[in-house]
Homo-oligomer: A and B are copies of this chain.
């Protein structure tokens, strides 16, 4: 345990970071992607999602142009990496209320790009629920304790945990879910919970462009244990075929076919 002690009453210590509302309340949002040759893959989609979230959460000083310039400079010598961009509000005063003029902090962190998994994915059903909030749903905000707690069930590299709201599957702890049900691809609606992933959106568009029907609709716990195929998606993994949901085994050939039908690349 490290102990930090700050007496903010006398302004003796000005610890910008610990006075950040990201740390105090999870008041912020982020995105995760891959850097290749100095650029973030699909960066316009990342910037668009960040801008939309900044507007929704009233981050008045969020400035896309400054961020793009900062990344251009910072990433120019980076061949390949995993990137996380976090935008969080600075604290002014005490308490939940924020000033609409509050400044924000942008934190960019690089880590090694994870290797693509060799084995297909085993989906485990979460024992803890997804957090439900119709206003927050879809946004990649910093309140992610539901994913943190669900990920306790991940015991090996080829596992992912799927979370539920009542009887409806929302997605994986770090991914979106697609299933093939009655020869129709489906992905859960995210109106009450979950994150609208950039890869999820890309795949929906690629399927539409290639004339492959896909629908966004509620998918029940019973249903996902009775599908023909499934895969999960995120910006780091791309498409990860699922070979097992709980105790039910699945063939991955449908997913491999889909990947080639839509010419998917991460």
Contacts and interface: CB of A to CB of B under 8 A. Distances in A.
Given A98-B148, A148-B96, A151-B97, A63 B106 contact: no
Contacts of A5: 70, 74, 108
Contacts of A141: 145
A151 B108 contact: no
B26 A81 contact: no
A199 to B, nearest CB: 16
Interface string A114-156: 1000000000000011111111100001111111111110100
A115 to B, nearest CB: 13
B107 A6 contact: yes
Contact of A109 (B17, B18, B154): B18
Nearest to A56: B149
A5 B7 CA distance: 27
A30 B25 CA distance: 10
A133 B132 contact: yes
Contact of A148 (B3, B17, B21, B63): B21
Contacts of A152: 58, 97-98
A31 B108 CA distance: 29
Given A26-B26, A132-B132, A133-B131, A4 B143 contact: no
Interface in A190-218: none
A72 interface: no
B25 A148 contact: yes
A95 B110 CA distance: 12
B6 A110 contact: yes
Contact of A112 (B9, B82, B97, B174): B9
Contacts of A16: 2
Interface in A168-196: 173-174
18 contacts: A1-B61, A2-B90, A2-B105, A4-B17, A8-B109, A9-B112, A17-B18, A24-B86, A25-B142, A25-B145, A26-B144, A27-B145, A96-B148, A97-B151, A98-B151, A98-B152, A128-B135, A131-B143
